[in-house]
A and B are shown apart, each in its own frame.
Chain A
């Protein structure tokens, strides 16, 4: 018999509706699996009691015929989403003991759709990182290992706990957030599917803010269909977020027609930097062939300001972070370290509460926004950002979707790439431009490298056109036939 934890959302949905198993059985199986794999450190907080009580409600709604789109599906919530009455840490010491009195819109939407929360997943502190190593609660182990090796690898970041949980089958799916690649890069490292929607598709209300003009929530799932189902349950207009789009929600799952004949796919020539890993280049070329075989028309395009995207990001994101993180002052929530004066209390609290990467970004942001430097750094970066967005707008006059690799490497070892901040920043070279332009980006697993680790391909779409991204993703997924699993789930 197939293990319940190996089923996709779509398969669970069918099994639940047919009565093959109950939401309580499914949830209980996941709780056991979650507890059995605590060594991965994927969860910061487990919420089995909440899960079982929601599963019971789900069973009642399934029986009554009033089931929602995610009824009874056990999901993990990245610990950046505020959850009412449940510890919310952002993986930072400074939020010690914080139990929000409210629920984020995205997690509330999922609950309304019937999803069952298993717990809160680990992440880089305040979502700042590409390895999950900056978490106050410790790194997360990638469930994948290199062939014949026992080295612990990172799951990527910042949504590392979510990606590891989905890959290890200790959650059917998980929420992530993406500021510069934090859904897509960990999805690629863990061999799962991750979708960053268009900026404004999902409400940011109740999500701990990092860089508000870039932050966007999205689904992390076993396959493309699940991403479509879960996005539909997460997204939607929210008057409480002024940047949330008041647009009708399409039926994302219906977009998976499998037909991409005549669709124009762009291949950006600037995404072939010198020294690109030949295995990643080969997989990318293979992706082009798969899409051609399915009837798509492939064209080379140019995104001339690509090489400036990372530098732009590392001005804009720290600037916004320094402003957003000013609220952690030891007064209203979380940690307080006393001092002789109010200023001393602030300074002691923030020194003890923030980790080194977060401090570095706050200081960087404070500097680029300070008097005399604002124009030279911040305004300059926002001008280049306009050019980067225009590059995409121009390209989308000729193509419908863009295909690139997701990350420049497969998962690396825990502790690697830690010596120099810029080495770590380079992980996001292929994902950051999309974020700066606010566009939807999907990563899906497309192959294994010679060490047996998953590699991802990324599809980038026009604003609000997640449907095309998902449709092409579905075709690519079928062609790639990626069925490999990490050994710990019996792969």
Chain B
């Protein structure tokens, strides 16, 4: 069962502002989902590898060369705040 403070903590980790009034209902909903997924504990998975790739595929190699780039203006075109080819953010270092 998740409590309010756990939800507050994961909301901070996920960088989503959750008003205090919403913590309790969210804790309730997430706990409901966690209770439901708890059924997986019944499955014996001893010696079973966690899936890492759904198709049996080997990653391919390519030469380590620059193949694309030089699109500074395209890359920053969608930024809510861009200045002189940079992304602008609130002051980080005092």
Contact = CB atoms under 8 A, between A and B. Distances in A.
A386 B50 contact: yes
Interface in B9-28: 10-18, 26
B43 A200 contact: no
A33 interface: no
Interface residues of A, number: 73
B62 A350 contact: no
Contacts of A200: 55, 57
B64 to A, nearest CB: 14
Contacts of A385: 50-51
A341 B17 CA distance: 13
A419 to B, nearest CB: 11
Contacts of A74: none
B54 to A, nearest CB: 3
B66 interface: no
Contacts of A362: 14, 16
B41, B51, B79 — which one has the most chain A CB atoms within 10 A of its CB? Answer: B51
A324 B93 CA distance: 27
Contacts of A311: 36-37, 39-40
A308 B89 CA distance: 44
B50 A379 contact: yes
A58 interface: no
A329 interface: yes
Nearest to A376: B41
Contacts of B13: 366, 370
A436 to B, nearest CB: 8
Interface in B49-80: 49-55, 57, 59-60, 62, 71, 74-80
Contacts, number: 160
A346 B54 CA distance: 33
A386 B48 contact: yes
B10 A389 contact: no
B17 A438 contact: no
Given A343-B15, A363-B16, A438-B55, A99 B78 contact: yes
A97 to B, nearest CB: 7
Given A331-B87, A359-B16, A380-B40, A101 B29 contact: no
B1 interface: no
B81 A346 contact: no
B71 A101 contact: yes
B18 to A, nearest CB: 7
Interface string A422-454: 100000000000001110000000000000000
Interface stretch (A134-142, A172-180, A240-248): A240-248
A431 to B, nearest CB: 15
B17 A351 contact: yes
B85 interface: no
Contacts of B30: 360, 363-364, 367
Interface of B: 2, 6-7, 10-18, 26, 29-30, 32-34, 36-37, 39-41, 43, 45, 48-55, 57, 59-60, 62, 71, 74-81, 87, 89-90, 92
Interface of A: 97-102, 198-200, 213-214, 239, 242-243, 245-246, 305, 307-308, 311-312, 314-315, 322, 326, 329-336, 338-348, 350-351, 354, 359-360, 362-364, 366-367, 370, 377, 379-387, 389, 420-422, 436-438, 463
